[in-house]
Structure 1
Amino acid sequence: MHGGGGGWGTIRSFTRDRSAARRRLAPGTTRRIVSFARPYAGFVGTLTVLLAVDAAAGAVTPLIFREIINEGVLGKDSGLVVRMALVVAGIAILTGALGLVERYCGARIGEGLIFDMRSRVFAHIQRMPLAFFTRTQTGALVSRLNNDVLGAQQAFTSTLSNVVSNLLTAVFTLSAMFVLSWQITLVSLVMLPLFLLPARWLGRKLQAITRESYDLNAQMNAMLTERLGVSGALLVKLFGRHEVEDEAFGQRAARVRDIGVTQAMYSRVFFTALMLVASLSVALVYGWGGVQAVAGALSVGTLVALTAYLTRLYGPLTALSNVHVDIMTALVSFERVFEVLDLEPLVKNLPGARDLPAEVPASIEFDRVSFEYPRAAEVSLASLETVAVLDQTVSTQVLHEVSVRAEAGQLVALVGQSGAGKTTMTHLVTRMYDVTAGAVRVGGIDVRDLTLESLRDAIGVVTQDPHMFHDTIRANLLYAKPDATEDELVEALRAAQIWTLVASLADGLDTVVGERGYRLSGGEKQRLAIARLLLKAPRIVVLDEATAHLDSESEAAVQKALATALAGRTSLVIAHRLSTVRDADLIVVLDEGRIAERGTHEQLLAAGGLYAELYRTQFRPQAEAQGTL
């Protein structure tokens, strides 16, 4: 689903999205940028002043050269030559010191903006609904946190400093040149348009190539991320596709190589053209100015100063000719960050939401609940998806007027075929999604009227494929209860029937479980997840096929541990293996989003309906083997 073909779609979507943004920025973008920069106004002001002083100091140096030649060398005043040389050295030291302070101010602005924006975006994304993560590509989100944030940061570091520095340098340099000789200054600028027009085209071309290089690198990195992960590496090995993967990666890497060569050549052509025009201008000034110096109309020192100024002029003027491209690129990066921040979470704390009272019995009630998954445009962005077009019309209704009540302390089992809506019901209890119609109540209170924090603190969930962070067993357990003691960790592991294994490991609780827990077997990872649940000790427990990966012996041990742990707690259990829910207080049979049957195990078997059919189908092979069927 997120493979190579999808990656191409994302690259095209990214490029279209970015191009559209360059054509028309969203209203208010500039104002929001200023709001991000406001905390660093002092550093921005200081940086601007330092750049002005630096540009002025650079503009003074050629005038000192003029004095050294005219008054010192030609005037045979060695003392003046020494004094002027010391002034040049002092200016060099001052410029170096200014450069250090400028770098500090720029770093404080840039790194501060990166921290602020990344923190805002990360915190916002963490609060997005589950539907957001089921649609968006992880790589696209990471790109917003990295590439686009860095692009936005450049607006206040390299772009700001370059614009101010180049503008002031050009102004000071041209002013000094006009004062020295306005005639030679005008002549020296004759060749500038001959360079600036091609330079503008070349600059845009170079930037387009740079953007394409970023896209190709992103595509190659996306492939690396997928193929070098444990799941991707396992799939490649199981299908024996090493040669195909080598060829596919080689093609992507070759395109990165080729675009790199093209980028290098364009850059070199740009630099060579700049140096050529600057050299021709210097030659022109030396030719005409030299003739005037020989005729006595211009001093030698003034001629040297003019040529020195000229070498300082073309770089800033060329950079300023393409500055709008750099500014627009930075603005687009800001807008892409704002695009994520403006996507409102569908599930959030409502005004007046309150905590779930500790004294309220933890009952669960589904009151005529209907649910359909939100449309793509409600939860995602085209630029974050594999396919850039968000479907505005298609939605799937999963539940139809479902009414179920689990009293406090009861164990209610949800059974049915895959896709019947079982997991969706558990997601509604934890408010991963909100109901389309009806209400879900915990302790008699609509979950939409409760704070998300208190609701999820009261519920513990073990899924069919529990996630483990690439960290130690201890860290994965402490995620449920950060202040847990060593004894509590050990007790939870004992109750989940996995302490013996953990104790036998060389590093014990400090053993790293690997990416997604792949260093553990399926059963070991499941029992570790159950230990994490037991450590949390929630009032409500949701088990989504929590024993699916356990062998018979481990399943029996864990079921015993769960029976003790779940005593007095409300439990909602999804089970395909019907043997695990025989003792449930209530079994609810779902069929295509509707309740087909409800009752105890014995009642449902006696009714001879869908549950009985599922039960017979599941246990027929065992009965036939035992000769009881």
Structure 2
Amino acid sequence: MASSEDTPFDQYRADVDRPLVRLFREYGVPRLRWFAAGNVANLVGRSASLLPPLVLGTAIDAIFAGEGTYSLPLVPGSWLPASQSGQFWFSVALILVGFVLTGVGTFLWGVTMNRFAHGVMHAVRTDTFAAMQALDMAFFDDKQTGEVMSVLNNDASNLETFLDDALSEGLRIVVMVLGIAGILVYLNAQLAAVTLVLVPVMGLFTWWFMRRVEPLYKQVRSDVGNLNTRLENALSGVELVKTTGTEDYETGRVRDASSDLYESNMAVLTLSYFYRPGMELLAGLSFAATFLVGGLWLFQGPPFGLTGTLTVGEFVTFVFLTQRFVEPLSQASNIVDWYENAKASGERVFGLMDVPPHVVEADDAVVLADPDGAVEYDDVSFSYDEGERILRDVDFAVEPGETVGLVGPTGAGKSTVVKLLLRLYDVTDGAVRVDGEDVRDVTVSSLRSAIGYVSQDPFLFDGTIAENIRYGRFDASDEAVREAAKAAEAHEFVSNLPEGYDTRVGERGVKLSGGQRQRLAIARVVLQDPAILILDEATSSVDTETEVLIQRSMDAVSLDRTTFVIAHRLSTVRDADTILVLEDGAVVERGTHDELLDVDGVYATFWRVQAGELDSLPDRFVESL
């Protein structure tokens, strides 16, 4: 079974203290007026529902049986009619008022509490997403997409259910239990003691259940995230699954994850279905005891050492209200379920919110305005989480408009070098500067807007071609979009599509070829018009003809811009002003193409292999790959 301990934010989730209190403090208090209005309406509606049985019992005794006087608690005697006919119609009116107030109160409660709960859910979901967006790439390197989606969707919905249903039902139970208990004690304290004797037992039973079910709910939430991760991975990699004929293998992995969730759910349900009938049994015993003792009292006098009288009207009221008493107490199990589910979800939501970003903008950060594009790496070293050094003592400078090629075996640190420039990570030692400013001292938005990045696998959103080119420059005109596409050698193929720039590209651009996606990514960078351009193996996965088109567009785009080219095919950096050769995270060679060939080192070896002058790489290069 996959464990929640494997998730990147698990350690922060474990530190979340009283998540539901925090939920209400941070998100409920700003919407307190809706919460208060909902609970007032709930209080009025539930209290009004107790009026008809009380009036009915009084009417039976005073009007129909002629026993005692017509009186109601909290109602002055001067307000009550003196005649039996007047008392009858007054009772009818009160019963109708009770039902009307119950209906109106329930309606207002539903509207206001749903506005409160769904408003909180909306704020929690968007704040959690915003917090996730603020995290640096170190988080996303280890993320489980399905786990994060589970937090944003399922866990946020569980919190909404708790705020909407659990709090309201909890208040309902309090009102009904206290209200009924008060009325029963007012009518006959001795019989009320019989009715209420099992309430403490119910409280202890509920406490035991909560202690036992809490860890089970945490496991359920974890298994939901694990299943979502497995489903997301299988769907995202469906092409690989089909081309390798591994449908049965993936089905088995989903089956295992679903089985884990099934088992954890069954553990919760088994305990719940022990608790719920138990509560219903205890509540039923209260009703049965009330009916037994009250019935014996009526036809043979006070039983079991009780004293005093019990009227038919009082007994009818007891029967009605005790039945009302049973139902909310039997619903206590649902409240416990909602509470425990929400508590586990709250830990996950706030655990994600509490993950601290490592890349933090300084309070006095300056805007990198109109940069020239000078870049300097000053003795830069880098490692992930104080682990093994990925880069060691990288030191070089680039003048505005120059092109730098980064080459070396897989894992040498080429992509990491440019990610430090984008400040996707922060250096461990040394500094990266743009126009003399340390990238840690400028605003992140101004830094990244000055840099255009094209990866070997560009991402396209599910939208139109125009929307994807315009991404990041949302106010760009249609003409500017077309000009950017022309500069990227994309206008021709876009124009030949049935809907042109309004063609939808599908999720991740699946309706387009790799070369077409690449050219749209370049068009997006053209529209951005950055001072610095990064091309991360942008032609490594396309055919030769497409490479020529992409290379031509990249040459045009990189003109007069500071450009970093990460190259798998060395021909793409042959004309670079400087080529840096990285090996094991260090710059081992630097110079122009001709200078590096004269050195006859790492670069020259790779060049001769790609040129066909060597049949294979030397062993030390093979090992590094």
- Give the structure-2-normalised TM-score: 0.86
Q: SS at 1:357's partner residue?
A: coil
Q: SS at 1:109's partner residue?
A: helix
Quote the Cα distance in structure 2 between the aligned partners of 1:398 and 1:212. 36
Superposed, 1:285-364 pairs within 5 Å as 285-294=290-299, 297-317=309-329, 330-331=342-343, 333-358=345-370, 360-364=371-375
Is the Cα–Cα contact under 8 Å of residues 200 and 321 in structure 1 kept in the other structure?
no
**Matching residue within 163, 166, 185 for 1:159:** 166
Give deviations 1:520-565, integer Å, cap 9, x for gaps. 2221211111111112111110001112233222222332222222
Question: Paired residue for 1:126?
Answer: 133
Question: Paired residue for 1:237?
Answer: 242
Q: What is the deviation of 1:621?
A: 6.2
Question: Paired residue for 1:592?
Answer: 584
Q: What is the deviation of 1:606?
A: 1.9
Q: What is the deviation of 1:206?
A: 6.0
Matching of residue 480 in structure 1 with residue 472 in structure 2: yes
Matching of residue 111 in structure 1 with residue 103 in structure 2: no
Quote the Cα distance in structure 2 between the aligned partners of 1:82 and 1:68. 10
Give deviations 1:501-529, integer Å, cap 9, x for gaps. 22222222222222222222221211111
Question: Paired residue for 2:59?
Answer: 68
**Matching residue within 526, 530, 552 for 1:534:** 526
**Change in 2 beyond 3 A, CA 1:19/1:266:** farther
Matching of residue 514 in structure 1 with residue 506 in structure 2: yes
**Change in 2 beyond 3 A, CA 1:222/1:94:** same
Is the Cα–Cα contact under 8 Å of residues 543 and 574 in structure 1 kept in the other structure?
yes
Q: SS at 1:572's partner residue?
A: strand
Quote the Cα distance in structure 1 between the aligned partners of 2:560 and 2:614. 34
**Change in 2 beyond 3 A, CA 1:85/1:32:** closer
Matching of residue 98 in structure 1 with residue 88 in structure 2: no
Quote the Cα distance in structure 2 between the aligned partners of 1:136 and 1:545. 24
Question: Paired residue for 1:41?
Answer: 32
Quote the Cα distance in structure 2 between the aligned partners of 1:145 and 1:574. 36
Superposed, 1:209-248 pairs within 5 Å as 212-229=219-236, 231=237, 233-248=238-253
Superposed, 1:448-459 pairs within 5 Å as 448-459=440-451
Q: What is the deviation of 1:571?
A: 0.6
- Give the structure-1-normalised TM-score: 0.85
Q: SS at 2:417's partner residue?
A: helix
Quote the Cα distance in structure 2 between the aligned partners of 1:12 and 1:541. 36
Is the Cα–Cα contact under 8 Å of residues 217 and 341 in structure 2 kept in the other structure?
no
Quote the Cα distance in structure 2 between the aligned partners of 1:47 and 1:247. 47
Superposed, 1:268-287 pairs within 5 Å as 270-287=275-292
Quote the Cα distance in structure 1 between the aligned partners of 2:13 and 2:212. 14
Is the Cα–Cα contact under 8 Å of residues 13 and 348 in structure 2 kept in the other structure?
no
Question: Paired residue for 2:378?
Answer: 367
Question: Paired residue for 1:388?
Answer: none
Is the Cα–Cα contact under 8 Å of residues 213 and 340 in structure 2 kept in the other structure?
no
**Change in 2 beyond 3 A, CA 1:128/1:203:** closer
Q: What is the deviation of 1:605?
A: 1.3
The gaps in structure 1 that reach 5 residues or longer are 376-394, 625-629
Give deviations 1:35-69, integer Å, cap 9, x for gaps. 33221122222223223222321222211111332
Is the Cα–Cα contact under 8 Å of residues 604 and 612 in structure 1 kept in the other structure?
yes
Quote the Cα distance in structure 1 between the aligned partners of 2:10 and 2:529. 49
Give deviations 1:408-431, integer Å, cap 9, x for gaps. 111111111111111111011111
Quote the Cα distance in structure 1 between the aligned partners of 2:222 and 2:436. 52
Question: Paired residue for 2:92?
Answer: 85
Q: What is the deviation of 1:224?
A: 2.2
Letter in structure 1 aligned against 2:533: V
**Matching residue within 182, 187, 190 for 1:180:** 187
Of 323-332 and 80-89, more deviation after overlay is shown by: 323-332
Matching of residue 566 in structure 1 with residue 561 in structure 2: no
**Change in 2 beyond 3 A, CA 1:334/1:582:** same
Q: What is the deviation of 1:204?
A: 5.5
Matching of residue 150 in structure 1 with residue 150 in structure 2: no
Q: What is the deviation of 1:17?
A: 7.3
**Matching residue within 4, 23, 42 for 1:10:** 4
Q: SS at 2:612's partner residue?
A: helix
Is the Cα–Cα contact under 8 Å of residues 274 and 315 in structure 1 kept in the other structure?
no
Quote the Cα distance in structure 1 between the aligned partners of 2:256 and 2:575. 58
Letter in structure 1 aligned against 2:144: Q
Quote the Cα distance in structure 1 between the aligned partners of 2:360 and 2:11. 28
Is the Cα–Cα contact under 8 Å of residues 10 and 351 in structure 2 kept in the other structure?
no
Give deviations 1:565-593, integer Å, cap 9, x for gaps. 22211111111111111111111111222
Q: What is the deviation of 1:118?
A: 1.8
Q: SS at 1:439's partner residue?
A: strand
Quote the Cα distance in structure 1 between the aligned partners of 2:7 and 2:368. 43
Q: SS at 2:48's partner residue?
A: helix
**Change in 2 beyond 3 A, CA 1:316/1:132:** same
Give deviations 1:255-306, integer Å, cap 9, x for gaps. 6567667766665554444444444433332332223323573211110101
**Matching residue within 426, 433, 437 for 2:425:** 433
**Change in 2 beyond 3 A, CA 1:320/1:353:** same
Is the Cα–Cα contact under 8 Å of residues 19 and 343 in structure 2 kept in the other structure?
no
**CA RMSD after TM alignment:** 3.2
Is the Cα–Cα contact under 8 Å of residues 480 and 533 in structure 1 kept in the other structure?
no
Of 10-19 and 609-618, more deviation after overlay is shown by: 10-19
Question: Paired residue for 1:575?
Answer: 567
The gaps in structure 2 that reach 5 residues or longer are 67-82, 302-308, 617-625
Quote the Cα distance in structure 1 between the aligned partners of 2:85 and 2:324. 28
Q: SS at 1:49's partner residue?
A: helix
Matching of residue 408 in structure 1 with residue 385 in structure 2: no
Equivalent pairs counted in the alignment come to 593
Letter in structure 2 aligned against 1:244: Y
